[in-house]
Amino acid sequence: MEGDLFSGLSNGNQVDGKVLQTFQKSFVQVQDILDQNRLLINEINQNHESKIPDNLTRNVGLIKELNNNIRRVVDLYADLSNNFTRSMEPSSEGESSGILKTNGKANSKRIRSG
């Protein structure tokens, strides 16, 4: 029944396979970034504990990389949220309209419904 996870949600619309594949791809991207962040945090902690000046200097770059990764995760989740919402809206063609960017770069604009 996993394929039916989103079927029948919101106004009787069904989320098509392409949308689900795009969601899955985005979740994999998020998980990859989070795994990378775990490694960065471990290295930052080791460098900090060593108190070696070169290691502490290296932490500056590692922390910048960590911050950029966190921004990427936030953007990916924002895109997922926006695209899921769009995929649940009724469309004139009767099909799902939510499409995520698949190039790994998130859209910086956020659409807020209200």
Q: What's residue 93's pLDDT?
A: 52
Q: What's residue 86's pLDDT?
A: 85
Q: What's residue 1's pLDDT?
A: 41
Of 92, 99, 79, nearest in space to 16 by CA: 99
CA distance to 20, 32, 67, 91, 94, per residue, from 97 (Å): 12, 26, 32, 7, 9
Question: Is 0.75 surpassed by the pTM of this model?
Answer: no
How far does Cα 76 stand from its chain's mean position?
3
Please give the average pLDDT of every successive group of 10 residues along the chain, which has 114 residues: 45 65 93 98 98 98 98 96 84 48 46 48
Q: What's residue 101's pLDDT?
A: 44
Q: What's residue 88's pLDDT?
A: 82
Give the C-alpha separation, 70 to 34, whole Å: 8
Q: What's residue 79's pLDDT?
A: 92
Give the C-alpha separation, 36 to 73, whole Å: 12
E-assigned strand segments in the chain: none
